[in-house]
Structure formats: C-alpha cells, structure tokens
Amino acid sequence: MHYIGHKSDDGENREQALIEHLNGTSTLCAEFAKKFTMEEIGKLLGLYHDIGKYSTGFQKRIQQNGPKVDHSTAGAQLLGKYFVPFAFCIAGHHSGLMNLGVRGDIDNGTLVARMRKELVGILDYSAFKNELPELSVNKKLFPAFGDTFSAMFFTRMLFSCLVD
C-alpha cells in the first residue's frame, strides 16, 4: 500500500509519501537538534512523530476526505514510554505543548489522558513497521535533568526542532 503523508490543497493534487515526510522531518529535526548536541534524539523524534498516519482512518481522511483522525497519539505513546519529552513533543506537534495533567485524566486534553488513550480498530497504525527501521532507542542518549526547569527547557527546545 502507498501511504500518503501530505496532500496539497492548492488544486494541484500533489502528494508526499509518508515515508518521504518522515525521513525529511527526521533529517531536519536532527540538524536543528545538533545545535545542542541532541542530533540522534532529533532524528528519532522526526522519524516516528507521524506514525499514526499509517492508520486506515488517517489514510481515508487524506485520500477520501474522511473524518478527522488523531494521528499524533500513536507516536507519543510509542516513544513516550522511553523518554517523556518525546511524548510532549509528538502529542502537541500540531496543537502546541499541553499540560501534563494528573493520574486519572481521561478526556481533558492533557498528556496523561493522551498516553492512556486506546488506539484500536480504525487507529491501528502497525503498518509503520513495514516502512520504518526497527525502533532502536539508546537510553544513554537521554540527558538527566537536575531540576524541573531544565527538563521543561529541554522539552521546548526539542519541540521547536520538530515543528520547525
């Protein structure tokens, strides 16, 4: 199957393959993150940020103007279990960084709620495994933070690398 990542809305009917979008974003995010020695983290973030677009629901949305589909939670859940800043960046890459929330949040727009969201049926995005390299996360690359400010600042820097 040919997975589409973006389509032009200028009447020209241009399409960008999803794998092309992910590779391009990965390259740019890594280049930006290199400025603060986090190139490998930027590369990983860019490569997996849109894996929810592999879902049938998203492909119906982009190919047939179907209903809107949450495509960012998939990557947030996948990478967020390794490093929380990944979850913040991916979950908010279209809407902005969200509040963390509290345990028990279900549907109020917090990161906690997004990380608990069940992605089933139409949101099955497992096809990403056919196009992307096997996920390999080297936790030694992740910085340790001595205080909350440092963690928040780092997350904002990484978020900027992704959305730029």
Alpha carbon separation from 72 to 12, 57, 95, 127 (Å, rounded): 26, 13, 10, 15
Q: Of 38-52, 90-104, 117-131, which one has max mean pLDDT?
A: 38-52
Average pLDDT, the chain: 91
**DSSP one-letter string for the chain:** ---EEEE-SSSS--EEEHHHHHHHHHHHHHHHHGGGT-HHHHHHHHHHTTGGGGSHHHHHHHHH-------HHHHHHHHHTT-HHHHHHHHTTTT-------TT--SSS-HHHHHH----GGG--GGGGGTSPPP---GGGSPP-SSHHHHHHHHHHHHHHHH-
The pLDDT tens digits for 86-99 are 999 999 999 999 99
**Amino acid at the residue 20:** E
Name the band, by pLDDT with cuts 50, 70 and 90, for residue 73: very high
User: What is the pTM (predicted TM-score) of this model?
Assistant: 0.91
In terms of pLDDT, which residue wins out, 118 or 154?
154
Name the band, by pLDDT with cuts 50, 70 and 90, for residue 123: confident
Nearest CA-CA partner of 16 in 65, 53, 45, 46: 53
- Tell me what the mean pLDDT of segment 105-118 comes to: 82
Q: What is the CATH number of domain 4-163?
A: 1.10.3210
Domain ranges across the chain: 4-163
In the predicted model, is pLDDT for residue 62 greater than 80?
A: yes
The pLDDT of residue 47 is: 97
The pLDDT of residue 122 is: 57
